[in-house]
Amino acid sequence: MGIDFQNVIEGLMVAIQPANLLWVMIGGFLGTVVGMLPGLGPATAVAVLIPITFGMDSTSALILMAAIYYGAMYGGSRSSILLNTPGDGSAIAAAFDGYPMTKKGQAGQALTMSAIASLIGGLFAIAGFLLLAKPLASFALEFGPAEYFLLFLFTLSAIVSLSIGNMVKGFISMSIGLMLSTVGIDLQTSVYRFTFDIPQLSEGIDFLVVIIGVYAVAEVLYNYLHLDRLKPANNKVGKKGISKEQWKRSKWPIIRNGPIGFLIGVLPGAGGSIASMLSYTTERQISKHPEEFGKGAIEGVAAPESSNNAASVGAFIPLLTMGVPGSGTTAVILGAVIMLGLRPGPLLFENNPDTVWTLVNSMFIGNLFLVLLNILLVGLLVRILNTPPKILYPLILVLAFIGTYTLSYSIIDFYILVIFGLIGLAMKLLDFPIAPLILALIVGSDMEQNFRKSLVAHDNILNVITASSVTITLAVMTVLSIAYPFIVSWFKKRKAKAA
């Protein structure tokens, strides 16, 4: 087994240092607040709060960002359940039965169940992390350029085909991200590419500005569309305690879906959205009373919540062991930690084991803290949710500008931020997925370097693909992930014909 108890205990010692405990709490709380805002999700929460991490050491920064991330996951379910306005894909499933429960006056119970399910799912995932992370990192140590190139290729194709929607648009979004990543001095030959003689572009496009632009500015502008139609939350959450019968119905769904969500989170490209949707549909299929789903069945809240929180922890595995983010939010986190000089990948486990194990322990503490926060302070959180979004959106904009300014201390970045904000807005309006763009922009340069190194080592692209069993597997998975939507629709058509 890959657990090194010594390291885990040392990590725990660092994680319970007062400063780090404080960061977990601040991150968890702020993440919850931003995640609760209708229409805003974890990626936005991390993006706007990035500036807080400047000047922090990389371990604390990672702890804080992880806390913001899962805090926002908790917060996202609050707005799903209470307002039926999920902030991002992973919170959609919680609204299916959570909102009907709110309408029946059982909001308090739905919230409690969602918090408990999230905690249990998260704990499963942390256990899974302890077991899987080290072996995966050692495995990834063997990876050469060919393996990395195909891994990036698979991740990108998976995030495109799994982001529910139009695949062509996903690939266009990905290509634009890759194009942006080629701007600047070529690392191998020092050739200036696509810089148009603008000195600021020679170091490439700052991906944090792009991230804040599309995830913060664009989201706020996009939410202007629905500004006047948002209803305030119902103040009455009702009973908070869950009954024995409700627990009995939810117990197994929670336990089943934690590990499922974790494994989906580990897969690059698939994240909380897929995990929670899959859990919801499986539970409805195997349930004894499927007709109650969608009308306020408590297990319909419990299952996706357990699964999406487990997925959010699982998503840290490819991020930390291979340096490959599995989703939009982890891509944002990767972008931020690279800025701080930390390079996630298999070597992280060799060179900075303390960072990894401290993070895992702080996730454990953070999940406990969030459950307490979400159950005990539910009244306070509902009151925050009642603060008109009309006040909160402008605050998000201001934070976005401060964040951008602290990146490089130049006003020019304000304009770049606005440009990417408008690009992001256009993408949202025309239904282009944003995650492929961000992911491609962040991994693009690495992907290209590995592509060229592998070409040098293996002469041509065919030899790159057949370089090892790992590359062949990844190539097959890439093809499958692209074919997946077609296979699904083919099956649906056949089923429809048969029926």
- Chain residues binding other proteins by CB under 8 A are 51-52, 54-55, 166, 168-169, 171-172, 175-176, 178-179, 182, 186, 188-194, 221, 224-225, 227-228, 388, 390-391, 393-395, 397-399, 401-402, 405-406, 409, 411, 414-415, 418, 425, 428-431, 447-448, 451-452, 455-456
Question: What amino acid occupies position 201?
Answer: L
Q: Which residue's CB is nearer to other proteins, number 58 or number 175? A: 175
Residue 185: phi and psi, rounded to 5, are: -75, 130
CA distance 294 to 236: 21
Bridge partner list, 185:
192
Tell which residue, 34, 126, 52, has the closest CA to residue 88.
Answer: 34
First and final C-alpha spacing in the chain: 49
The least distance separating other proteins from the CB of residue 208, rounded to whole angstroms, comes to 14
CA distance 344 to 365: 22
Question: What amino acid occupies position 91?
Answer: A
Q: Which residue's CB is nearer to other proteins, number 127 or number 407? A: 407
The least distance separating other proteins from the CB of residue 203, rounded to whole angstroms, comes to 16
Q: Which residue's CB is nearer to other proteins, number 41 or number 271? A: 41
CA distance 188 to 282: 49
The least distance separating other proteins from the CB of residue 406, rounded to whole angstroms, comes to 5
Q: Which residue's CB is nearer to other proteins, number 28 or number 389? A: 389
Q: Which residue's CB is nearer to other proteins, number 9 or number 19? A: 19
**Residue with the two structure tokens 């459950």:** 371
The least distance separating other proteins from the CB of residue 227, rounded to whole angstroms, comes to 7
The least distance separating other proteins from the CB of residue 308, rounded to whole angstroms, comes to 26
Q: What is the DSSP letter of 292?
A: G
Tell which residue, 227, 244, 203, has the closest CA to residue 389.
Answer: 227
Q: Which residue's CB is nearer to other proteins, number 139 or number 415? A: 415
Please count the other Cβ atoms lying within 10 Å of the Cβ belonging to residue 179: 15
The least distance separating other proteins from the CB of residue 305, rounded to whole angstroms, comes to 29
The least distance separating other proteins from the CB of residue 168, rounded to whole angstroms, comes to 5
The least distance separating other proteins from the CB of residue 460, rounded to whole angstroms, comes to 12
Give the torsion through C-alpha atoms of 409, 412, 414, 415, to 10 deg.
Answer: -170
Residues found in the chain = 499
Q: Which residue's CB is nearer to other proteins, number 312 or number 454? A: 454
The least distance separating other proteins from the CB of residue 139, rounded to whole angstroms, comes to 27
Determine contact, residues 224/394, Cβ cutoff 8 Å: no
Cα 208 to its chain centre, rounded Å, is 16
The least distance separating other proteins from the CB of residue 482, rounded to whole angstroms, comes to 12
Determine contact, residues 32/381, Cβ cutoff 8 Å: yes
Tell which residue, 178, 174, 215, 286, has the closest CA to residue 45.
Answer: 215
CA distance 13 to 73: 26
Determine contact, residues 474/150, Cβ cutoff 8 Å: yes
Q: Which residue's CB is nearer to other proteins, number 332 or number 397? A: 397
Q: Which residue's CB is nearer to other proteins, number 334 or number 425? A: 425
Q: CA angle, corner 365, sides to 359 and 371, nearest 5? A: 130
**Rounded-to-5 percentages of helix, strand, coil across the chain:** 80, 0, 20
Q: Which residue's CB is nearer to other proteins, number 291 or number 431? A: 431
